[in-house]
Structure 1
Amino acid sequence: MRAVMLKRRKSRFELHEDGVVHELNGIRSYAAFADIEDLYLFAGGSTAMTGMINNLAYRTGADQPWIWATGELKRFDEFMDEFRSRYLEYRMPVLTQKLADGERVTFRYISSGDVYKKRLFGNFLNFKTQELALSAQGLHVDGVTWPGASLKCMNQNDWTERLTIKDAAGTTVFSCIGTGILSFDLFANMIDDEMNQAG
């Protein structure tokens, strides 16, 4: 199955079962979903302040360029939904295996303040990230390790868009605007798995 989406400036995307092809000015590049490290979902344009996701960017490593798809694409919502679904399907087993092998899985995120600044001022793909990680020891945030058994709930407030993870005592372990977390779907699913296994 393949969906072809067109964008301005002669750019297009071909969504394949296990990866995506981007073509710009006749130059084609392929990225397997299993190899994409960061998927950035964000709001831009006239509806930016509502937080409605109408942009998607991905890269295969922090040292690689972003490839950006916008709401200008025909059938963008369909493209984004399929991309997110297939990315989760192919990338999550890779990260789950890393955890099983005793490796640390790192996620990058943008501070909530920077998320709002991007909505106001644009320049969307120029930002600094902070890191949090998962390992067999638990969730690592700002130099503190929270054992998986101590994590009790993860909630996302639809009004504030903020994702919050708390421990059994109700202490906030981590809090950030959900779309500020790169590869948000992966992160949320892996944290959910961690809490279910610990519980």
Structure 2
Amino acid sequence: MISVRSLLIVVSAIFAFLAGRAHASPETDFWKWFQTNEASLYDFERDQEVTFDRLTAEMHKVDSSLTFEFGPKQNRQREFVISADGIRAAFPKVESLASSAPELPRWKVIKFRPRREPADIQYNGITVKANSVSVDIYPDGEKADLTVFIAGYSAVERKTFRAIAYLFLDQALGEVDVETRVGGIDVQAPLTPNTNAIPLSELPKAFDACVLKR
């Protein structure tokens, strides 16, 4: 027969567990899962598809817009980029998830896609070389409108080329600037001649000068 004292201990344990779950946040649950699966995440190349699918599912428990990028191993660390996938409404969730990260010696947690040296992009069956892309900048108040010129652009594949343009701009300017300091974005085939367009590699410096001086 269970004693009253034993029953009280069991009931107290159940209430403590439920109270703990009630105060747990999706961010806390995510990082617990991350730490439990850290080995497979750090060596994701061993089973990339399965690992990425699991990570995506866990991030979507925090917010369905969240996505990620991994950097290469450098000095026994990897970058783990938490991105809102260009969706402004999800920015607060990126902030909260990144700020709640525990101590992770093998990881460098980064909020939003940072500026990087533009690299070639393959998307939806189309490959575009970064050095073939140029951009026109048009001042627009506190922001700047951009026209992205992509060799091989086709109106039939407009959505794909527009997505590629956004990916290039994320590389060159970083996710936050694309969403907060860029106004309109147009995508076209290269014009001949086009003396105003600059190579994608020169965009960060020209963009900052354009926006900051206004």
TM-score under structure 2 length normalisation: 0.28
Structure with greater helix share of residues: 2
Bigger proportion of residues as strand: 1
- Greater Cα radius of gyration, structure 1 or 2: 2
Task: With the length of structure 1 as denominator, give the TM-score of the two structures.
Answer: 0.30
